Amino acid sequence: QKEVEQDPGPLSVPEGAIVSLNCTYSNSAFQYFMWYRQYSRKGPELLMYTYSSGNKEDGRFTAQVDKSSKYISLFIRDSQPSDSATYLCAMSAGNFNKFYFGSGTKLNVKP
């Protein structure tokens, strides 16, 4: 079983839709959770960073962590064509530890 599972998509939505992206994980020691956006042929860009459980909001983006269910989500409100990219989740247990990545979900927002 992989440490982090993420639906690869692709996910296609109309402009203005609410998008929900999700990851599940198996290691209860994970405490640090990240979402990255990656455009084609570019490096991943950090979107959201959360420590432990709870919600975090930044503009149109909301990250949620449910440690009891080992489940994290990224919501994108009022999605735009410029949001079309691959979204990667990542997590870590702490210092001197590796980061574990999901395989990425490809999102396409249609004008």
Partner 1 sequence: DVKVTQSSRYLVKRTGEKVFLECVQDMDHENMFWYRQDPGLGLRLIYFSYDVKMKEKGDIPEGYSVSREKKERFSLILESASTNQTSMYLCASSLEAGEQFFGPGTRLTVL
> Can you give the binding site for partner 1, defined by CB under 8 A?
31-32, 34, 36, 41-46, 49, 51, 88, 90, 92-99, 101-104
Quickly list DSSP for 48-86: EEEESSEEEEETTEEEEEETTTTEEEEEESS--GGG-EE
- Closest separation between CB of residue 53 and partner 1, Å? 16
- Closest separation between CB of residue 1 and partner 1, Å? 15
- Closest separation between CB of residue 34 and partner 1, Å? 6
Radius of gyration over every alpha carbon of the chain, rounded to an integer in angstroms:
13
The b/e string for 56-85 (b: 16+ C-beta within 10 A; e otherwise) is eeeeebbbbbeeeebebbbbbeebeeebbb
- Give 43 or 59: the residue with its C-beta nearer to partner 1: 43
- Closest separation between CB of residue 108 and partner 1, Å? 17
- Give 19 or 89: the residue with its C-beta nearer to partner 1: 89
- Give 2 or 18: the residue with its C-beta nearer to partner 1: 2
- Give 79 or 105: the residue with its C-beta nearer to partner 1: 105
Backbone angles phi, psi at 82, to 5 degrees: -70, -10
